[in-house]
Amino acid sequence: MSEKSIEISEVGPRDGLQNCAAIMPLAHKRRWIDAEAAAGVREIEVGSFVSKKLLPQMADTAEVVAHALTIPGLTVAVLVPNLRGAEAAVEAGAHKITLPLSASETHSIRNIRRTHAQVIDEARAISALLETLPADRRPHFEGSLSTAFGCTLEGPIEEATILRLAERLMEAGCDEVGLSDTTGYGDPSSMRRLIRAVRGVVGADRLTGVHLHNTRGLGLANALAAYEEGITTFDASLGGLGGCPTAPGASGNIVTEDLVFMFEAMGVATGVDLEALIKCREIVRDALPDEALYGFTPRAGLPLGFRRAAQAAGSGSGA
């Protein structure tokens, strides 16, 4: 019997859709979020407050947030590139905001047009904004260390740079930092090493989540390594949608369906109904017929006799 559990944070409506050529209609976004929440996903990154000219796929984020907030028990997360985005997120009522800080300064400038120093300044300004809010209206503030395991523009990033940026994000007022393998450079060994190193400077309770891509097929292996290091929140995207428009060669996120299957098969509870989750693909396929959807579990189906971790634990014998 296992009492272990982790949280899946679905990022498809943001990270997935921002990399799609077609724009998903608002009605389909609502259906997608409704369906995933009904399947048991408790945190969804529903969009980003960015320039509508740069990412028209995210132009309706405020409307998406408004709808997601009507779902009981759902943590509504958004990405913000700067103070202006954070102000919009606060006005919309998002529960969690994530500010990306690329360890690769070249990528940071290309991605959000900010140097490291400028992103830290934005983090300070966002923190000051949040401090003016009542505690019950203050969103959780995460600083995400993007390209932490390597960059298609700069190559490997010095660990000292990553640790310094993690410290500066916390000093600027972030509640926690996250590690993002934006370009799929990570491997299980580097995953373990960097998690330990960053926790050494910010504390174990200030690094609880990772955002992984499956560019070279190591996404699930990296997720397992992160779990064994004590990470409890894992970003993933339905059907593996996603990538980074400003990092050439950065292909999709780890597949939510495969990630849930791996953990549930291990006896680690996710709270997600896999069959219901897989049905969510129909909504995405209907809205984006030209986009490829990935995942081994949806294609192979669930094994005969498969039981969710909670079900397996509940049926354990006393022998």
CA distance readout (Å), 260 to 41, 60, 230, 267, 302: 10, 29, 17, 11, 12
Task: Kindly name the residue from 20, 151, 174, 244 that is annotated as catalytic.
Answer: 244
CA distance readout (Å), 65 to 14, 49, 90, 94, 283: 11, 10, 11, 7, 19
Partners of 9 in the β-ladder: 43, 235
Partners of 180 in the β-ladder: 211
Residue 244 appears among annotated catalytic residues: yes
- C-alpha–C-alpha distance, residues 224 and 258, integer Å: 12
Provide the Cα torsion 130, 134, 139, 145; round to 10°.
Answer: 30
- Widest pairwise Cα distance in the chain: 63
Total length of the chain: 319
Partners of 227 in the β-ladder: none
Nearest by Cα to 24 from 241, 171, 196, 184: 241
Find tokens 């932490």 and name the residue: 148
CB burial class (10 A; 0-12, 13-18, 19+) of residue 273? middle
Residues designated catalytic? 244
